[in-house]
Amino acid sequence: LEELQWPDGEQEVPISVCSLPCKTGERKKKVKGMPCCWICELCDGYQYQYDETSCRLCAYNMRPNSNRTACQHIPIIKLEWHSPWAIIPVFLAMIGIIATIFVMATFVRYNDTPIVRASGRELSYVLLTGIFLCYIITFLMIAKPDVAVCAFRRIFLGLGMCISYAALLTKTNRIYRIFEQGKQTVTAPRFISPTSQIAITSSLISVQLLGVLVWFAVDPPNTIVDYDEQKTINPMLARGVLKCDITDLQIICSLGYSILLMVTCTIYAIKTRDVPEDFNEAKPIGFTMYTTCIVWLAFIPIFFGTAQSAEK
């Protein structure tokens, strides 16, 4: 026996078995024509070892454990406050909120001065309120999703911009009507008083609120865990994303009315670009609307064209 030479320089006597036992997480695959032999095949992907001869797929919200003997729940993630994706927007939002409050306080302090009165105090306060809400939505978007947070997201997602654009549209429309009618008659146009301006702005804002109420009635706010976005080839890296049940289409529909107000305001800003220098409020409004249009044109394809993620 000592003189026997085994292939490949082996020193030990070969094991005289047809197939070795399979490791944990592997199933036995029978060899055709050899009923007592098998090939060990690893349960791959999101499968786990059900018994000696079969693998089964884990449930939609689960993944196999490290040795693939059972399934475990996929970890759920959300955007965290300490993430750079949250810290930077919060920092910028705080600066914006402080600046907005400072401007509003200045307006209140000099409320009865000619400059503040000439700027249209009422619509200026409405505009500042809209800008303030635009910054506040940052905190709602980062907060942990629940039914209340999701409801407030729906309300404020487009409301801040709607209020801002409604106020600007009312301002530019008022300037346009004053100078257009001034070319024909000395009689002042209708609905240019502060009360009328607030009423027009409120009616424009009410359309957005009515749309949100219809949205609540048709599809009540709720949270979901999306496992598709972060379901990687390696199940150990898979994550579920906790988020509000709001689709990209619903987001664009919610913002669509604000976009309509913005485009209409831009048109009026173009029409009033040649007003006399003493009434040059239309010029900065026009510049604001041109830059806003460019920002929106960049935002829409970037936001809806990027890969899905918890940070989005």
The whole model's pTM is what?
0.77
Q: What is the pLDDT of residue 295?
A: 84
Q: What is the pLDDT of residues 11-70, one digit of tens each?
A: 777 777 788 888 888 888 887 777 788 888 888 889 999 888 889 999 989 999 988 889
Tell me the average pLDDT across 271-291. Answer: 73
- In order of 27, 31, 60, 92, 256, the CA distances from 139 in angstroms are 50, 61, 31, 11, 22
Residue 312 in this model has a pLDDT that exceeds 70: no
Residue 276 in this model has a pLDDT that exceeds 70: no
Q: What is the pLDDT of residue 33?
A: 75
Q: What is the pLDDT of residue 52?
A: 85
Q: What is the pLDDT of residue 119?
A: 77
d(CA 204, CA 305): 30
Beta 240-244 vs 76-77: how paired, if at all? parallel
Q: What is the pLDDT of residue 162?
A: 92
Q: What is the pLDDT of residues 84-135, one digit of tens each?
A: 888 999 999 999 999 999 999 999 999 888 888 877 788 899 999 999 999 9
Q: What is the pLDDT of residue 307?
A: 57
The 3-class secondary structure across the chain, one letter per residue, is: CCCCCCHHHCCCCCCCCCCCCCCCCEEEEEECCEEEEEEEEECCCCEEEEECCEEEECCCCEEECCCCCCEEECCEECCCCCCHHHHHHHHHHHHHHHHHHHHHHHHHHCCCCHHHHHCCHHHHHHHHHHHHHHHHHHHHHHCCCCHHHHHHHHHHHHHHHHHHHHHHHHHHHHHHHHHHHHCCCCCCCCCCCHHHHHHHHHHHHHHHHHHHHHHHHHCCCCEEEECCCCCCCCHHHCCEEEEECCCHHHHHHHHHHHHHHHHHHHHHHHHCCCCCHHHCCHHHHHHHHHHHHHHHHHHHHHHHHCCCCCCC
Q: What is the pLDDT of residue 278?
A: 61
Q: What is the pLDDT of residues 150-208, one digit of tens each?
A: 999 999 988 999 999 999 888 888 877 877 776 666 666 776 788 888 999 999 999 99
Q: Is 19 exposed, middle or buried (0-12, 13-18, 19+ CB in 10 A)?
A: middle
Amino acid at 39: I
d(CA 275, CA 279): 6
Residue 308 in this model has a pLDDT that exceeds 60: no
Q: What is the pLDDT of residue 277?
A: 60
Q: What is the pLDDT of residue 147?
A: 92
Give the list of residues 6+ apart from residue 123 with CB closer than 8 angstroms, or none. Answer: 167, 170, 171, 194, 197, 198, 201
pLDDT greater at residue 103 or residue 284: 103
